Amino acid sequence: MDAARRAESAVRRLRWPVAWLAGAAVALFLAAFPGCVTHRGQSTLDLPDAHHVRLAKLIIHSDVPVQEDSPLVRDLAALRVDILSTLGLPECRRPVVIYLFENEPRYAAYMRTNFPRLPPRRAFFIGTPSELAVYAFRGDQMLIDLRHEYTHGVLHASLKGLPLWLDEALAEFFEPPREANHVNLEHLERLAAAIEGGWQPDLARLEQLSDVSEMQALDYHEAWAWAYTLLNRNRTQQRPLLISYIHSHRDGANSKPFSQKLGLPADEANRLVLKQIARLQRRMNGPHERRSAEADDSESDPDAAASIRLPDDEEDDEVDAFE
């Protein structure tokens, strides 16, 4: 595999222009200096190890006390059940391990030392053949970051080779707090503004994006919108098609693009998304509006979580990192 392909762009979930530039710089570095970034050369001395929780397929190693019945653990345990039940996936084969640092400086120092090629972000999911790991720190955005990265972990524990747009669409779908019912207000507001400017969804175009140099912030908003529209309980005709497509990646099979399986003309499929966005806008702007706790300035925060694919150390030793 050549260096450019092995570096297959380094960043998947960088939703902000400044962060995308940082990700592009990392991709160029990896392409110019092909090498390996794996757990094998990584010191474990500074990993959180003072407190431990194990609940089903969730393992947490933390610098500070975390109780099994804490809101954080309960939320993540419920999230795993939500992901598996919503997508009809079997119980995960592998656990997802969360390393929770006590503060940002300690987390940042560890990541710089052990993963020097990664840009500074609030959280990462890094998958290797030996471990599906999430790295994060305690802070104001901890729960949102952990929900997003833990979703990546649960998906990667059951699936192989999800397309870029769908991997991120599902992480964005499950990221908001449970009470938000998968509504990501930041995505909704950005999409509404884009529609006023003449933007139209285009799933076939979105499916072609596989490199950081091609992706823009709006692509992440659109990916969430497709996931929300197709998985919404009112879309019973399209929901089974998407779930079946997701299941086709349980054995790593290369499926046709989902747009070719949807069975709808492109303009009709696009109208589904536009109608869903309009419906959500009316609901959120109504007299009983309930705004999600995640509707803050995180979309414009260059330090927020993002997703990165690192180059393979060897042909059979894959390393996937998601911020």
Which residues are CB-neighbours of 267 under 8 A, at least 6 positions away?
A: none
Does the pTM exceed 0.85? no
9 φ, ψ to 5°? Answer: 45, 80
Give the distance between the most distant pair of CA atoms in the chain.
57
Q: Which helix (H) or strand (E) holds 30?
A: helix 17-32
Quick: pLDDT tens for 221-239.
999 999 999 998 555 678 9
Per-chain mean pLDDT for the chain? 77
Which residues are CB-neighbours of 41 under 8 A, at least 6 positions away?
A: none
Which residues are CB-neighbours of 100 under 8 A, at least 6 positions away?
A: 48, 60, 61, 62, 63, 64, 66, 136, 137, 138, 142
Residue 73 has a pLDDT of 96
Interatomic CA distance for residues 94 and 151, integer angstroms: 13
Q: What single letter denotes the amino acid at residue 104?
A: E
Interatomic CA distance for residues 122 and 278, integer angstroms: 32
Quick: pLDDT tens for 26-76.
332 333 322 223 344 445 558 999 999 999 899 999 999 999 999 999 999
Q: What is the DSSP string of 133-151?
A: EEEEESSTTHHHHHHHHHH
Percent of the chain with pLDDT over 90: 56
> Closest by alpha carbon to 206, among 175, 167, 171?
167
Residue 92 has a pLDDT of 82
Quick: pLDDT tens for 254-310.
678 999 988 889 999 999 999 999 999 998 886 544 444 333 333 334 345 544 333
3-162+301-322: CATH architecture: 3-Layer(aba) Sandwich (3.40)
Percent of the chain with pLDDT over 70: 71
Interatomic CA distance for residues 6 and 247, integer angstroms: 26
Residue 279 has a pLDDT of 92
Residue 26 has a pLDDT of 33
What is the location of CATH 3.40.30.160 in the chain? 3-162+301-322
SS3 37: coil
Exposed (0-12), middle (13-18) or buried (19+): which is 276, by Cβ within 10 Å? buried
